[in-house]
Structure 1
Amino acid sequence: MRPLPAREVAAVDALGLVLAEPVASRLDLPSFTNSAMDGYAVVAADLAEVPASLPVRGDIRAGATGEQRMAAGECWRIMTGAPVPAGADAIVPVELTDGGTTQVQVREQVEPGNAVRHQGEDLRVGDPLVPAGSLLLAHHLSAIVAAGVETVQAVPRPRLAVLTTGDELVPPGQPLAPGQIVDSNGPMLRALALCADVEVVAVEHVRDDDDLGAVVDRLAESADAVVTSGGVSAGAYEPVKDAYAGGDAVRFVSVAMQPGKPQGFGLVGGAGCRCSRCRATRCPRW
């Protein structure tokens, strides 16, 4: 059986999928030189002697888009994530100052580069980000989106159809006549598939005299696999066996389990299936 073909998926919708192609950054990260702390953008050499008093030219907020400049002997009050003004080479954390808004007293020296996050110091455009084969988790999606990547090539979740069989089955919530039971396998198989992170596209039921093969062919148009319940025993009125026992697409065996000893597995559906309904040599879907 071949792996499912990859498809383009929005990065924000790719949680839990397997990455089919590696992802590289489309941005420098950080994309601009910014402050790692709330504080004051300064020229470190101005703090050769402390305490030092510097005039504050103004505020630079996170999200500010205008380019700011400063000269030696002055400073800007700056917020975490805000762009560092041209001419500054360090950030003084606000905790080392008196917090002034027009004039600030700095109590301790800082080294050039202190609390400055330089453009591209984490990633450069084209740097590898997430390798192919990775199971995409929340932190992967955050990194991918932050790096400017909108879509990824990923293996989609398998699409499953559940098909229960038998005249004796009644949908949950419906009244039971003598000889009937509630169809509990359908909800169970759906729940198990969802727990396994499989996409369930249909849950249906067929009676013993329905054309099960035709139903499977229809479900195969939108499902990658069909799980059936019942209909494979050695007795009469076994719709799964009736549909596929005459060909070699489905193999019916007995396993060491009771109940549930009769089991079947095969590759069916679509043009070219080798079952008794198609009589072809090889199914191109698989």
Structure 2
Amino acid sequence: MALLPVSEALRRILDSAATLPSESVGLLAARGRTLAEAITSKVDNPPFDASAMDGYAVRSEDVATVPVTLTVVGEAGAGRPFTDTLRKRQAVRIFTGGILPPGADAIVIQENTTASGSEVTVLETAQRDANVRTRGQDFAAGEVLVEPGRLLTARDVLISASAGYAELSVARKPVVAILSTGDELVAPGEPLGPGQISGSNAYGLSGVVEAAGGEARFLGIARDSLASLDEFISAAEDADVLVTSGGASVGDHDLVRPALEKAGAQLDFYKIAMRPGKPLFFGSRQISGRRQYCVGLPGNPVSAMICARVFLVPLIGRLLGRETPFEALDAVLTDSIPANGPREHYMRGELDVSSVPARVTAFKKQDSGLVKFLQRANCLVVIPADSPALDAGASVRVLKLDI
């Protein structure tokens, strides 16, 4: 049976996923969340004509010819307006952020004046609206400021507060349950017995989930038995996504797929034309009228993490209503690489974007058992299936390892 191409596997995953319901969060909790409803300003900003400088509010016609001496009839500070109407040859002492008094239409900065008691002499002319931030100059009520689907930044939170919002509607974080499987696994930090290894995958995958905008929940380590798998899978019923690591191949102890099918999952595909990551599978199951997505990752740590970057990150993005593109860019090889086989190869490498075009070096050691080279990589060099050998200077696609 032909292996499923990576692009088709990703398409199937994304086509099956629907955006989760929204929830409201306070502004202090909004950064890093995905906006569900557009931020449309409730107010003009600034909400009134305001002084942009310290100085004097005047009528521009009074200062068309200078020098001219005006009578200071009051003071306006931020939050302390002067409410009387300014009359001919009058001025109001004003500070940055103060409301422009009625009758005034310009601000003369204090550096262009000489004050003496209740009078001020203006030394430079000021045109209408000089040093004035007019109402709605920044943005107006009804203006759409931030579109849905955006990953909210501190800047977005700032403008939301300025636009009159105390809370924002954001996509609910998908809960991603992570299950490690294997008799050989022990918790990190525990002594290793004969044939045992540290169960590291769940910790790396949790970081991927959180970085992508999800909520990671580690279920634990299931042993290689249907009874153990059944117990852990039943504990994940409230999750939006169930990610398993290990037990996805065809050995006598690879029982994850049968256990999931027993729990009601319908598999969409199994095995893809990718290396590392061939034994990946994907499906879903209905739980109380709600769909749970099931992603089966290889047990190999490098394979699991690379597959998570290629498939799980976009899935989480789709559940959040945020388009998560493949984010591939073009770069030129600094060294040659050998011909590829029938599976698309995701080679760990080092990307240098300081030059134009960007340059990338694929590591010589690509064994999927070498975690150190995954940690040192900042990108994946994507080599198509059946690609011929590529010389230094050849252009390749590169996927940033932003996990």
TM-score tier, shorter chain, comes to 0.7 to 0.9
The answer to whether the aligner puts 1:213 opposite 2:230 as a matched pair is: yes
**Secondary structure in structure 2 of the residue aligned to 1:192:** helix
What residue number does 2:209 align with? Answer: 193
Give the Cα separation in 1 of the matches to 2:139 and 2:29: 23
Structure 1 unaligned regions, length at least 5: 276-285
What residue number does 2:170 align with? Answer: 154
Deviations 1:148-178 (A, max 9, x none): 1223333233321211111211111111112
Moved more, 17-26 or 255-264: 255-264
- Give the structure-1-normalised TM-score: 0.83
Q: Give the drift of 1:260.
A: 4.8
Moved more, 119-128 or 75-84: 119-128
What residue number does 1:31 align with? Answer: 47
What residue number does 1:96 align with? Answer: 112
In 1, are the aligned partners of 2:202 and 2:218 still within 8 Å (CA)? no
* Change in 2 beyond 3 A, CA 1:257/1:85: closer
Higher helix share: 2
Tell me which of 134, 144, 148 is aligned to 1:128. 144
Q: Give the drift of 1:103.
A: 3.1
Tell me which of 249, 252, 266 is aligned to 1:249. 266
Give the Cα separation in 1 of the matches to 2:177 and 2:247: 16
What residue number does 2:19 align with? Answer: 3
- The one-letter code of the counterpart of 1:33 is D
Q: How does 1:1-286 map to 2 (within 5 A)?
A: 1-64=17-80, 67-98=83-114, 102-209=118-225, 210-221=227-238, 223-245=239-261, 249-251=266-268, 253-256=270-273, 260-268=277-285, 270-271=287-288
Q: Give the drift of 1:183.
A: 0.9
**Secondary structure in structure 2 of the residue aligned to 1:140:** helix
* Change in 2 beyond 3 A, CA 1:147/1:128: same
Q: CA RMSD in A?
A: 2.9
- The one-letter code of the counterpart of 1:93 is I
- Give the structure-2-normalised TM-score: 0.61
Percent of aligned pairs with the same amino acid: 39
Moved more, 136-145 or 92-101: 92-101
Moved more, 103-112 or 128-137: 128-137
Deviations 1:79-111 (A, max 9, x none): 111111122111001222236674323211111
- The one-letter code of the counterpart of 1:24 is T
Higher relative contact order, chain-length normalized (CA < 8 Å, sep 6+): 1
* Change in 2 beyond 3 A, CA 1:227/1:205: same
* Change in 2 beyond 3 A, CA 1:255/1:101: farther
* Change in 2 beyond 3 A, CA 1:58/1:188: same
Q: Give the drift of 1:182.
A: 0.8
In 1, are the aligned partners of 2:240 and 2:291 still within 8 Å (CA)? no
* Change in 2 beyond 3 A, CA 1:89/1:187: same
In 1, are the aligned partners of 2:50 and 2:99 still within 8 Å (CA)? yes
Moved more, 199-208 or 33-42: 199-208
Q: Give the drift of 1:207.
A: 1.8
**Secondary structure in structure 2 of the residue aligned to 1:19:** coil
Give the Cα separation in 1 of the matches to 2:129 and 2:202: 63
Give the Cα separation in 2 of the matches to 1:95 and 1:274: 67
**Secondary structure in structure 2 of the residue aligned to 1:202:** strand
Structure 2 unaligned regions, length at least 5: 1-16, 293-318, 320-403
In 2, are the aligned partners of 1:92 and 1:110 still within 8 Å (CA)? yes
* Change in 2 beyond 3 A, CA 1:43/1:219: same
* Change in 2 beyond 3 A, CA 1:252/1:48: closer
Give the Cα separation in 2 of the matches to 1:154 and 1:205: 33
* Change in 2 beyond 3 A, CA 1:81/1:100: farther
**Secondary structure in structure 1 of the residue aligned to 2:206:** helix
* Change in 2 beyond 3 A, CA 1:121/1:42: same
- The one-letter code of the counterpart of 2:128 is P
Give the Cα separation in 1 of the matches to 2:289 and 2:124: 79
* Change in 2 beyond 3 A, CA 1:256/1:28: closer
- The one-letter code of the counterpart of 2:169 is Q
Give the Cα separation in 2 of the matches to 1:152 and 1:167: 45
